[in-house]
Amino acid sequence: MGREIHMLLFPFFAHGHAIPTVDMAKLFASRGVKTTIVTTPVNASFFSNTIQRSKDSGIHIDVQLLKFPAAEVGLPEGFESVDMLPTSPDENFGMMMKFLQAVQLLQEPFEELLQECKPDCLVADLFFPWATDAANKLGIPRLVFHGTSYFSLCVTECMRLYEPHKNVQSDSEPFLVPNLPGDIELTRSQLPDSMKQDAETHFTKIVKAAKEAELKSHGVVVNSFYELEANYADYYRNVLGKKAWHVGPVSLCNRATIDKAERGKKSAIDEHECLKWLDSKQPNSVLYICFGSMACFTSAQLKEIAMGLEASELQFIWVVRKQKNDNEDEEWLPEGFEKRTEGKGLIIRGWAPQVLILDHEAVGGFVTHCGWNSTLEGVCAGVPMVTWPTFAEQFYNEKLVTRVLKIGVEVGARKWVRLVGDFVKREAIEKAVTELMKGDEADEMRNRAKALAEAAKKAIEKGGSSHSDLHALIEEISLRSH
């Protein structure tokens, strides 16, 4: 047996990035790899329960802290996570720019830490492009973690290489993504701002730097499994020539140990109350609605959702992200809505135990923003989805769910709009949720979703595709370090 190898993991400061990285750390540590997560004090507090539970079960994960330079860029002390940004898009953008400046200032302290730890491998988030140079200086292989699917990595790369969006006459004219398997159609309005802008902004600079850093990195680690998107895993590795390992769905390593502080945040509802409510429902009869931790809809949009749900007459659990201005807290609810839907609907204001809810047999559909963590959690639970992308790479994930996997129905969001998303009317919402839960193809979609959930479980078992890729990655790092 050779010496123990040491993996250092450096997640971006946002729940959507930290959660899968912590799960990945558990995977490495459970294979006997010395594992350390680098983060800041406030971010460490979000997942300290998970780390403690791992220790209690015999899986040790070390945490190294860096001081976040909030004050240096004019942010309040303790402001260390993207999830703390204001919900209004204008305020959010200004503070996000300051936040990214602060992230840039971490380069030097991070290099010092790297020199001190001298790990055998660094897994760093794409938003730390400078981590590649830091690692290369010390001869440490750096792996990039994007936190998304092979499919969206392929779309992003084909869009960058061939720029098909520059050949259409309008924002709504569809075009095919060139050279990509599966005839995937997009429109210019569904693309990220950074792709459509010709002028260089602070954010497009980071995207460009991330791309260049990836080319100089040792490879990419992907939170997915081969059977979910085999064509795109092959395309990414064989046609685009990227070195990549799939080790997911990483959330499955947490299924057995989820409890009160599920996924590092306190739920806004008592889990037992929630499960008791679900226990009283028929299998596949409840629709679960949640848009992740970043999207923040306007009161007008929330009202449309409420009206659409009521018109559909479906039973539902609806997670509503709390707006910052609490005095307007309930203005979005139509008069008498909660009384009329009593017993039929459950509104959770704040954080919900999503994995527990999705895994319950009463849940038969999931309305999602198509963030990759949520999409994978839906897949692992075998639940078909209504897709409602808002920004980031979510429109790409929507195509994977609806066109490739055929386990979803599009709600009809057409425009990429940071945080608030495109406005969708109640009629479209009612139509999509009804089609998903009771339509002609509802059973077929559900069967396909259940088959994928089985494939996900097999992928992480001994001999499964992700289990084998993880083993191959650890072997390669081990040989390299010797």
Rounded to 5°, angle at Cα 417 from 191 and 296: 140
SS3 track for 3-22: CCCEEEEECCCCHHHHHHHH
Sign of the four-CA dihedral 147, 412, 286, 343: positive
User: Is residue 147 included in any domain, yes or no?
Assistant: yes
Q: Please check whether residue 465 lies inside any domain of the structure.
A: yes
Residue 366, number of CB atoms within 10 A of its CB: 26
Is 257 part of any domain? no
Angle between helix 442-460 and helix 465-481 axes, rounded to 10 deg: 30
pLDDT of residue 258: 45
**Quick check: is 53 in a domain?**
yes
Please give the sequence-ordered ranges of beta strands (E in DSSP) within 369-478, or none if there are none: 385-387, 408-410
Say if residue 246 is in the same domain as residue 279.
Answer: no
**Which CATH number goes with the domain that contains 120?**
3.40.50.2000
| pLDDT above 90: percentage of residues in the chain | 82
- 68, 137: one domain: yes
Check pLDDT > 80 for residue 102: yes
Dist CA 90 CA 293 (whole Å): 18
Question: Residues 36-56: pLDDT tens digits?
Answer: 999 999 999 999 999 999 999
Domain interval for residue 355? 262-456
| Strands of 62-152, DSSP E | 62-65, 121-125, 142-145
d(CA 387, CA 256): 28
Min mean pLDDT across 169-183, 312-326, 361-375 is at: 312-326
114 near 138, Cβ under 8 Å? yes
**Cα–Cα distance between 151 and 254 in angstroms, integer?**
24
> Parallel, antiparallel, or unpaired: how do β-strands 121-125 and 6-10 relate?
parallel
**pLDDT reading at 263 higher than 60:** no
Phi–psi pair at 142, nearest 5 degrees: -110, 130
State whether 192 and 269 are in the same domain: no
What was the pLDDT predicted at 262?
43
Biggest CA pair distance of the chain: 68
End-to-end Cα, the chain, rounded Å: 12
* β strands within 291-431, DSSP E: 315-320, 345-349, 363-368, 385-387, 408-410
Same domain, 57 and 135: yes
Cα angle, residue 436 at apex, residues 432 and 437 outer, rounded to 5°:
120
CA distance 169 to 276: 54
Residue 247 reports pLDDT greater than 90: yes
Same domain for 297 and 219? no
Q: Same domain, yes or no, for 238 and 272? A: no
The encoded tokens of residue 461 equal 């078992």
Q: Does any domain span residue 1?
A: no
Confirm whether 383 is domain-assigned. Answer: yes
Contacts of 31 (CB under 8 A, 6+ apart): 470, 471, 474
Residue 469 shares a structural domain with residue 441: no
User: Which residues, including other chains, have CB under 8 Å from residue 336's CB and lie 6 or more apart?
Assistant: none
pLDDT of res. 324: 56
Q: pLDDT confidence of 87, banded at 50, 70, 90? A: confident
The pLDDT value recorded for residue 86 is 83
Q: Is residue 175 part of a domain?
A: yes
Number of separate domains in the chain: 2
Q: Nearest 10 degrees: CA dihedral of 15, 18, 23, 27?
A: 170
Instruction: Identify whether residues 374 and 232 lie together within a single domain.
Output: no
What's the CA gap between 187 and 190, in Å, rounded? 6
Burial class from Cβ neighbours inside 10 Å (0-12, 13-18, 19+) for residue 212 reads exposed
Reading the block at residue 389, the tokens are 């992308």
Same domain, 184 and 316: no
- The number of beta carbons lying within 10 Å of the beta carbon of residue 64 is 15
Q: DSSP assignment, residue 58?
A: T
Residues 6+ apart with CB under 8 A from 330: none
Cβ atoms 53, 29 nearer than 8 A: no
Query: Please, what is the average pLDDT of the chain?
Result: 92
What pLDDT, in 10s, does the model give residues 382-418? Answer: 999 999 999 999 999 999 999 999 999 999 999 999 8
Peptide bond into 249 cis (omega under 30): yes
Q: Which of 7-21, 76-90, 110-124 has the lowest mean pLDDT?
A: 76-90
Close Cβ partners of 80 (under 8 Å, ≥ 6 residues apart): 13, 40, 41, 42, 43, 68, 70
Q: pTM for this structure?
A: 0.94
DSSP structural state of residue 400: I
Number of CB atoms found within 10 A of residue 303's CB: 17
Catalytic residue positions, numbered:
17, 125
Q: Say yes or no: 379 and 312 in one domain.
A: yes
pLDDT recorded at residue 89:
74
One domain, residues 64 and 170:
yes
Residue type, 105: L
Q: What is the DSSP string of 173-237?
A: --EE-TT-TT--EE-GGGS-HHHH--S--HHHHHHHHHHHHHHTSSEEEESS-GGGSHHHHHIII
Task: Examine residue 450 and state whether it is found in any structural domain, yes or no.
Answer: yes
Task: Tell me: do 297 and 425 sit in the same domain.
Answer: yes
Which tokens in the block code for residue 106?
A: 């971490």
Residue 1 is predicted with a pLDDT of 44
Give 277-330 pLDDT, tens digit per residue: 999 999 999 999 999 988 889 999 999 999 999 999 999 999 998 655 544 556
